[in-house]
Amino acid sequence: MNAHRATHRIATLCRPLGVSPSGYYAWRRRPLSLRAPADVTLSAQIQAIHTRSHGTYGVPRVHAELAAEASASAASASPVLCARSACRA
């Protein structure tokens, strides 16, 4: 939304997303969650595994790699974060 603020009003940008401008501004002021830094680190690990596999590993194999080298919580969060990134099953 920030990229389009110069050409469109925030209210106009919020309407198709089904959010109110006040809700958008409240979200922007909200601090990052406690989990956000861990998600950034885990996303980097997922991207590294995916890159090492030359883009051939999807969610199941990335999950297995994380389970082999990381904690159970990282492996359980990997499908969600993998879906947000370039991994495809």
Instruction: Give percent above pLDDT 90 in the chain.
Output: 28
80 in a domain, yes or no?
Answer: yes
89 in a domain, yes or no?
Answer: no
Please tell me the predicted confidence (pLDDT) of residue 73. 58
Measured between alpha carbons, how far is 62 from 79 in angstroms, rounded to an integer?
8
Residue 6 and residue 41 in one domain:
no
Q: Regarding predicted confidence, which is higher, 80 or 30?
A: 30
Measured between alpha carbons, how far is 42 from 82 in angstroms, rounded to an integer?
9
Hey, what are 5's tokens?
A: 């603020």
- Average pLDDT of every residue of the chain: 82
Range of the domain at 72: 36-84
- 54-76 tens-digit pLDDT: 988 888 888 888 888 765 556 56
If one counts the domains in the chain, the total is: 2
